[in-house]
A and B are shown apart, each in its own frame.
Chain A
């Protein structure tokens, strides 16, 4: 099955700096890669996603890049703010047996701390 590795597990930056979180996946058939932000006591919230036919996607201060050949994708947050502090999860959507029954496999998460 799919395996998603996420690094780093913790990241501390100063307010205004950029933060980058990287993920690798194993199944070349994976075709959809969402990123979720989880604040303490809440459920994961989708912040951005990218499909395998696109190399980069941007939404204000957040961007995601995908390298299908190398099977890795990254989340970039620019001009970080204290409210960006949270756990961030990457995920890859891969097909099950027979090419159907897609499921999401999540990375272990990155605890991002933005220091004022």
Chain B
């Protein structure tokens, strides 16, 4: 158990809908990262937050957004869902910072999203 929690575990929804995925980082970690994992694209970095502020952006679609709250939990919002958004979404956390062991990322169990 990495100490990172994600809810829900599974989510089934329809095209055009909007969903929110939630992540709680390990105790003491300030950074939260979101990843999308699909069969053809592998693990793709979406976005990182550090202590409430956006720190880095990856291949995140404009239909997707995220935020990190004062208690450090994070939410990933996916809107106008398309069939191709079906994937596993992982959250990871790290202590924060740019050097040493502070950047080691620990992954949660993921949310499996199925868009029908």
> What are 26 inter-chain pairs, A to B, with CB distance below 8 A?
A34-B104, A34-B105, A36-B107, A42-B110, A43-B2, A43-B90, A43-B107, A43-B110, A44-B43, A45-B2, A46-B105, A49-B104, A89-B43, A101-B48, A101-B55, A101-B56, A102-B56, A102-B98, A103-B56, A104-B45, A105-B45, A106-B44, A106-B45, A107-B42, A108-B42, A109-B42
A-B contact count (CB 8 A): 50
B103 partner residues in chain A, CB cutoff 8 A: 32, 93, 102
Residues of B participating in the A interface, judged by any CB pair closer than 8 Å:
2, 4, 33, 42-45, 48, 55-56, 58, 90, 98, 103-110
In terms of DSSP, what is the predominant structure of the interface of chain A?
A: strand
Given the known interface contacts A103-B48, A103-B56, the answer about A45 and B105 at a Cβ–Cβ threshold of 8 Å is no
Residues of A participating in the B interface, judged by any CB pair closer than 8 Å:
32, 34, 36, 42-46, 49, 89, 93, 96, 100-109
B4 partner residues in chain A, CB cutoff 8 A: 43
A44 partner residues in chain B, CB cutoff 8 A: 43, 90, 107
A104 to chain B, nearest CB (A): 6
6 more A-B residue pairs beyond the given contacts A44-B90, A102-B56, with a C-beta to C-beta distance below 8 A: A34-B104, A46-B107, A101-B56, A103-B48, A104-B105, A109-B42
